[in-house]
Chain A
């Protein structure tokens, strides 16, 4: 089976004047369709740098990121944006919703940048369907700043799913939530994975990491452990 996402010998080095900081060092990672992977590690282990690279928000200093058989090395900004839009759904720690836009508008946002031509009505239908799936069918026209933290994260999950991406990439998705709400979100990820959605969670929270089927631990930018 071909992985939906591959990191091949990925390195990230930051040049800070005279100092060179190696944030990620020779990481190899294969994520297959239907995978539920967590990337854990302490602060400074290189989790965020790795996440940014596999999310195509940053480019590796060396190595390759291959998404759905497409090698992203040497891609233009425009091509990277297109792959990001089509293949990756982001869920952030602090939700990153447009505060004064409605729930529905927030969920439809990635479709605005999609190359696929989808009619406005169809977009709404799709967004409504996803919002129903995350239990927010009654809050469609609320502004996102009128929602609770848990609700906001559910909107973000619906937004991450709207382009039917190959991978959902979640960065500390429960980091800003109380434990009860955090558990609800964890359950939502488990359910989504059961439906066949590929999920990669980046977290320092070992409890959250435990819900994943595969766990990769980073230390000093290197993979030190991989549990299956």
Chain B
């Protein structure tokens, strides 16, 4: 029997039991679907975060408290934020001693608060900066203006609403001049940001001085925008020298956009692999399902095996037939899972820029084929070893 004949025989056997074949491949379908969907989701999140950071501009660096390492498996962004050694005087130091290199500098404070307007409420991130924050964070103003240096110095209760915040509280109308409430304080809306990205759209900008006074917020970061065409590495070194006048080397870290992206990429790559591996376990379970059903099938078809042998089939051909059945189940399941994963990714694109990593396609399809071969081998060997006389007598 030629290989195409064996293939046809295997396919016919599977088609004779469509429901069972489908249920058997369900494990593989779910496994491949999970691998594809989860990895594309993580990729989407990765793209989303990357896009958000890119919005900040590539020549902005961030001074963070404590020693922060990026890249590899030792990323600990966030760990340093707890130490809180950064103060306003450090911003002054940078402004005074690194003047020739910087375009703008701002301390950054951050808090999450519910903003109220009449009966409407919106929980937003309130970002505090100095009057230069708008330029540093590349914020475009849709209505009104950003706050002034005077408002910053006088700790004025003024606020610039993010696009979505304004949309939610004022139905997208120009809200400049209206008053909103944050906790017990009343803030005047002086501006509305143009649409920028989900993160910024859900934030508001206020003078950091006001936030420190009203909510006891601490400086979490100092954002510095370098002058254009500046060598970023040199720039970082200069800032470091300036800050060393008051701080020790381990008291702060300076991170560039690239550092952040690398760090996030490395974290998300690990998450992606971990999720892929978890989903891979369902592929393994799917494989065990295939083996289980194939073993049942071999027992059920004992007489058929005996008959085929009597009519001239060799053990090798019987083995190949059953192996092909298992591989066909797993590969078909893999392809269906891939199509479903692709559809799910398509749906996810409504929320994040999800994309299927090529490696996840290759790994999941390759793995499903391997699952078929590995878990199909034992039943196939069992089938091929059947004694034709015993098999023909099997009741």
Q: Which of B313, B315, B388 is the one whose CB lies under 8 Å from A113?
A: B313
Contact B312 A110 (CB under 8 A): yes
Residue among A57, A92, A101, A112 having the largest count of chain B Cβ atoms under 10 Å: A112
In Å, the complex CA distance between A102 and B317 comes to 22
In Å, the complex CA distance between A92 and B314 comes to 20
B302-318 interface bits toward A, Cβ cutoff 8 Å, 1 = contact, 0 = none? 01101111111111110
In Å, the complex CA distance between A90 and B9 comes to 21
Inter-chain contacts of A85 with B (CB < 8 A): 311-312
Is B389 in contact with chain A by the CB < 8 A criterion?
A: yes
Inter-chain contacts of B229 with A (CB < 8 A): none
A98-131 interface bits toward B, Cβ cutoff 8 Å, 1 = contact, 0 = none? 1011000000011011100000000000000000
Q: Which of A52, A55, A77, A96 is the one whose CB lies under 8 Å from B307?
A: A96
Is A152 in contact with chain B by the CB < 8 A criterion?
A: no
Closest Cβ neighbor of A85 among chain B residues: B312
Closest Cβ neighbor of B316 among chain A residues: A78
By size class, the interface of chain A is: 20 to 34
Contact B314 A57 (CB under 8 A): no
Closest Cβ neighbor of A89 among chain B residues: B311
Residue among B1, B9, B304, B311 having the largest count of chain A Cβ atoms under 10 Å: B311
Contact B311 A78 (CB under 8 A): no
Inter-chain contacts of B317 with A (CB < 8 A): 113
Q: Which of B16, B310, B315, B316 is the one whose CB lies under 8 Å from A55?
A: B310
Is B171 in contact with chain A by the CB < 8 A criterion?
A: no
Scan residues 299-356 of chain B and give those whose CB is less than 8 A from a CB of chain A: 303-304, 306-317
> Smallest CB–CB gap between A96 and chain B, Å?
5
Is B392 in contact with chain A by the CB < 8 A criterion?
A: yes
Is B5 in contact with chain A by the CB < 8 A criterion?
A: yes
In Å, the complex CA distance between A55 and B304 comes to 17
Closest Cβ neighbor of B388 among chain A residues: A57
Scan residues 56-79 of chain A and give those whose CB is less than 8 A from a CB of chain B: 57-58, 77-78
In Å, the complex CA distance between A111 and B313 comes to 10
Inter-chain contacts of B5 with A (CB < 8 A): 112
Is A84 in contact with chain B by the CB < 8 A criterion?
A: yes
> Smallest CB–CB gap between A128 and chain B, Å?
19
Q: Which of A98, A110, A113 is the one whose CB lies under 8 Å from B304?
A: A98
Contact A57 B9 (CB under 8 A): no
Asked whether A113 and B310 contact (CB < 8 A) given A52-B389, A78-B316, the answer is no
Inter-chain contacts of B304 with A (CB < 8 A): 98
Is A188 in contact with chain B by the CB < 8 A criterion?
A: no
Is A184 in contact with chain B by the CB < 8 A criterion?
A: no
In Å, the complex CA distance between A52 and B392 comes to 11
Inter-chain contacts of A96 with B (CB < 8 A): 303, 306-307, 310, 392
> Smallest CB–CB gap between A163 and chain B, Å?
8
Contact A114 B16 (CB under 8 A): no
Residue among B303, B304, B306, B307 having the largest count of chain A Cβ atoms under 10 Å: B307
Is A81 in contact with chain B by the CB < 8 A criterion?
A: yes
> Smallest CB–CB gap between B2 and chain A, Å?
8
Contact B312 A82 (CB under 8 A): yes
Contact B308 A113 (CB under 8 A): yes
27 CB < 8 A contacts A-B? A52-B389, A57-B309, A57-B310, A77-B314, A78-B314, A81-B309, A81-B312, A81-B313, A81-B314, A82-B312, A84-B310, A84-B311, A90-B310, A96-B306, A96-B310, A96-B392, A98-B304, A101-B12, A109-B311, A110-B312, A112-B9, A113-B308, A113-B311, A113-B312, A113-B313, A113-B317, A159-B311
Rank and list the top 6 A-B pairs by shortest CB-CB distance, nearest first: A85-B312, A113-B312, A110-B311, A81-B314, A96-B307, A112-B1
B residues near A (Cβ < 8 Å) are 1, 5, 9, 12, 16, 303-304, 306-317, 388-389, 392
Taking A57-B388, A77-B315, A81-B309 as given, write out 20 further A-B residue pairs in contact, using a Cβ cutoff of 8 Å, ordered by the A residue number.
A52-B389, A55-B310, A57-B389, A78-B316, A81-B314, A82-B312, A84-B310, A84-B312, A85-B311, A90-B310, A90-B311, A96-B310, A100-B16, A109-B307, A110-B312, A112-B1, A113-B1, A113-B312, A113-B317, A114-B312
